[in-house]
Amino acid sequence: MTGPKLNVQPLDTGSSFRTQAYQALKQAITEMDIYDHPGEIRLDERQLSERLGVSRTPIREAMTLLEQEGFVRSMPRRGIFVVRKTKREIVEMITVWAALESMAARLAAEHAPDSEIQALNELFKEFESKRPAEHVGEYSEANLAFHKQILRMGGNNLIIEMTDNLFIHMRAIRKLTIGQDNRAERSIIDHRNIIAALEKRDADLAERLVREHTLGLARHVELHGDFLD
């Protein structure tokens, strides 16, 4: 493999190797910061076979599933590569995410238990006494957890499934941009306003705030995302 190291562990021999290889590779690829370095990310079947402790057959089968889902791309005579999107594709993806997550926020305002809404505050509690911009790594993880939780609270399984396949790119872009242009400080203000709207059960406001918040990321990428091309 070229690029960042894929964090995979040997598989349990008690269940389907293909299923386990698929799950292990999908998780590892999702956790990679695929836009945080130049160049292509090539996956080596032999190395993955050795590190997972299985033959190449389940690796190939897992790669086929991952390619169908858009995580990797097979290139004849070159190998298999993790898919990286262009700037235009990323902006389109963020726009779709904004539509899906804002609908999840509306559903959450209408149906989510009070305890789940209150739990959102806990994600940012430590940043009451320290600036997000000074702890970008920690804040980035809280930021990602916030958006994933909004999707879960919406309770719509199809929205969760659709955003799950976009998450590898959204995670990488959010982590890469959160420290730019004072975005961390503005982000936490947006999050607190979204939580307040959810607490008031104002579905219209929650939907609008989440949509505007995410479209703000799209505008940022349009202005500062030359590294994607």
Q: What is the pLDDT of residues 49-80, one digit of tens each?
A: 998 888 889 999 999 999 988 889 999 889 99
Instruction: Enumerate the β-bridge partners of residue 81.
Output: 42, 73
Please tell me the predicted confidence (pLDDT) of residue 2: 55
Q: Return the SS3 of 73.
A: strand
What is the spatial distance between Cα 203 and Cα 143, in angstroms, rounded to a whole number?
21
Please tell me the predicted confidence (pLDDT) of residue 33: 76
Domains identified in the chain and CATH numbers: 17-82 (1.10.10.10), 87-228 (1.20.120.530)
DSSP secondary structure, 138-189, as one string: HHHHHHHHHHHHHHHHHT-HHHHHHHHTTHHHHHHHHHHHTTSTTHHHHHHH
Please tell me the predicted confidence (pLDDT) of residue 228: 65
Backbone dihedral angles phi then psi of residue 46, each to the nearest 5 degrees: -65, -45
In the numeric block, the tokens 């590569």 are attached to 81
Q: What is the pLDDT of residues 173-194, one digit of tens each?
A: 888 887 777 788 888 899 999 9
Nearest to 84 by CA among 172, 2, 175, 215: 172
Q: What is the pLDDT along the chain (229 residues), one digit of tens a residue?
A: 555 666 766 655 545 888 889 888 988 887 877 877 777 889 998 999 998 888 889 999 999 999 988 889 999 889 999 888 888 999 999 999 999 999 999 999 999 999 999 999 999 888 877 787 777 778 888 889 999 999 999 999 999 999 988 888 888 888 888 777 778 888 889 999 999 999 999 999 999 999 999 999 999 899 887 766 5
Note whether 132 and 187 are within 8 A (CB).
Answer: yes
Please tell me the predicted confidence (pLDDT) of residue 217: 92
Q: Return the SS3 of 125.
A: helix
Q: How many CB atoms lie within 10 A of CB 202?
A: 15
Please tell me the predicted confidence (pLDDT) of residue 10: 66
What is the spatial distance between Cα 219 and Cα 173, in angstroms, rounded to a whole number?
13
Nearest to 192 by CA among 161, 174, 213, 175: 213
The Cα angle at residue 33 between residues 152 and 59, in degrees rounded to 5? 85
Please tell me the predicted confidence (pLDDT) of residue 32: 79
Please give the share of the chain, as a percent, with pLDDT higher than 90.
43
Please tell me the predicted confidence (pLDDT) of residue 100: 97
